[in-house]
């Protein structure tokens, strides 16, 4: 889903009630988080306001006293639900672009209309013609069909980017070995996440530190046995959702290191210096 614009609804998942991060929150902070999802949906969080102004806007929109709004943010950040600039983590992964894409909806309706015209000799009733009387259930069904089309397009697009994409589930260690054997980069030069990082102001150093942590975690760490079909896509998710909290992004300027990021960079720099000295 695009960050720009205002939309009438967003996706809410049934796992919300059993999510450990949600359960750990006080009831009022659960409500605060849902309020932020609504503000993300209507475009408020992407208005480009300065950090202090955004704090005041969020407080006003959610009817929270300005004196405590930063404490609310601190708790939600600590709970791993939002970033320092109020952005809900995992939003892009859970909200499909097709939900609110006018062009895709128009394309889907046109295809459906043509199919129906072919089946009944071109006689389409007023309710079938997509004249604005579509029910919520119909819109939801159309959205799911469009999601399937989008997923297929994305899988096809990503399949050509890496040795094992969309073929079989393998560990990262195996994937890296295949890349080395074929002399290709684990994250291809034309993979969309590279442009996403540039657009977000994430520096090459930040990307490198994130990759080092990702690689360590999935080759020798707790996730070493995880298997996926598309490792570049998994890494892209880790960047988009800021799994490691190495940077924070504000309305203006490049991304900034967090304390976690600075610590990880120092460790990586020390390890690199030790290798050079050996």
**Which pLDDT band holds residue 129 (cuts at 50, 70, 90)?**
very low
Domain C-terminal end among 73, 94, 115: 94
Same domain? 81 vs 115: no
Both 187 and 248 in one domain: the answer is yes
Average pLDDT of the chain to the nearest whole number: 79
129 and 183 in a single domain? The answer is no
Q: Say whether both 89 and 153 belong to one domain.
A: no
* Residue 3 counted as domain residue: no
Place of tokens 């657009």: 199
Angstrom distance (rounded) from CA 79 to CA 81: 6
CB 261 within 8 A of CB 245: yes
Residues 90 and 123 in one domain: no
> What pLDDT, on a 0 to 100 scale, did the predictor assign at position 154?
52
Task: Please state, in angstroms and rounded to a whole number, the distance separating the CA atoms of residues 167 and 188.
Answer: 17
Owning domain of residue 147: 97-159
Q: What is the pLDDT of residue 132?
A: 44
In this structure, is residue 5 part of a structural domain? no
Q: Rounded to 5 degrees, what are φ and ψ at 189?
A: -60, -35
Query: Whole-model pTM?
Result: 0.45
**Residues 61 and 72 occupy one common structural domain:** yes
Last residue of a domain, one of 94, 121, 145: 94
Q: Of 68, 94, 120, which residue is a domain's last?
A: 94
Give the chain's domain count.
3
Q: Positive or negative, the Cα torsion across 153, 154, 157, 159?
A: negative
The residue ranking higher by pLDDT, 159 or 77, is 77
Within this chain, do residues 191 and 264 fall inside the same structural domain, yes or no? yes
The answer to whether residues 65 and 109 belong to one domain is no
C-alpha distance from residue 144 to each of 9, 16, 21, 114, 261 (Å)? 14, 20, 27, 19, 38
Does 9 fall in a domain? no
Signed CA dihedral, 250, 253, 254, 257: sign only: negative
Among 13-17, 85-89, 107-111, 233-237, whose mean pLDDT is lowest?
107-111
Same domain, 225 and 266: yes
DSSP letter at 251 equals: S
Q: In the predicted model, what is the mean pLDDT of residues 54-59? A: 92
Tell me the two tokens of residue 85. 């600039």
**Residue 272 domain flag:** yes
d(Cα 42, Cα 59) in Å, to the nearest integer? 16
CA dihedral 172, 173, 174, 176 (to 10 degrees): 80
- Are 41 and 112 within one domain? no
- Is 166 within a domain? no
Chain segment 144-196, per-residue pLDDT in tens:
555 556 555 555 554 444 555 546 899 999 999 999 999 999 999 989 999 98
* 89 and 18 in a common domain: yes
Residue 163 pLDDT? 58
Please, are residues 116 and 71 in contact by the beta-carbon 8 Å criterion? no
Say what the pLDDT of residue 128 is: 38
Q: Is residue 126 part of a domain?
A: yes
8 within some domain? no
87 and 102 part of one domain: no
Q: With respect to residue 134, please indicate whether it lies within any of the assigned structural domains.
A: yes
Give the model's pLDDT for residue 97. Answer: 57
């Amino acid at each position: 889903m695009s960050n720009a614009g205002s939309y009438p609804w967003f996706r809410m998942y049934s796992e919300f009630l059993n999510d450990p991060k949600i359960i750990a929150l006080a009831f009022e902070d659960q409500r605060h988080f849902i309020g932020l999802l609504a503000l993300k949906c209507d475009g408020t969080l992407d208005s480009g306001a300065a950090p202090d102004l955004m704090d005041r806007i969020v407080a006003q929109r959610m009817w929270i006293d300005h004196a405590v709004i930063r404490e609310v943010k601190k708790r939600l950040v600590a709970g791993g639900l939002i970033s320092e600039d109020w952005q809900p983590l995992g939003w892009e992964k859970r909200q499909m672009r097709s939900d609110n894409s006018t062009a895709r909806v128009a394309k889907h309706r046109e295809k459906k209309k043509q199919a129906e015209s072919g089946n009944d000799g071109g006689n389409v009733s007023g309710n079938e013609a997509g004249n604005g009387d579509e029910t919520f259930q119909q819109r939801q069904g159309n959205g799911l069909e469009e999601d399937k089309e989008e997923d297929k397009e994305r899988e096809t697009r990503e399949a050509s980017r890496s040795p094992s994409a969309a073929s079989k589930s393998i560990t990262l260690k195996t994937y890296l070995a295949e890349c080395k054997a074929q002399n290709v980069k684990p994250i291809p030069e034309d993979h969309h996440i590279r442009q996403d990082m540039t657009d977000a102001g994430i520096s090459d150093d930040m990307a490198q530190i994130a990759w080092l942590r990702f690689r360590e975690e999935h080759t020798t760490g707790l996730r070493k046995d995880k298997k996926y079909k598309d490792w570049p896509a998994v890494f892209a998710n880790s960047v988009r959702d800021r799994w490691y909290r190495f940077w924070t992004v504000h309305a203006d300027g490049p991304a900034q290191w967090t304390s976690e990021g600075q610590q990880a960079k120092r460790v990586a720099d020390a390890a690199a210096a030790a290798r050079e000295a050996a």
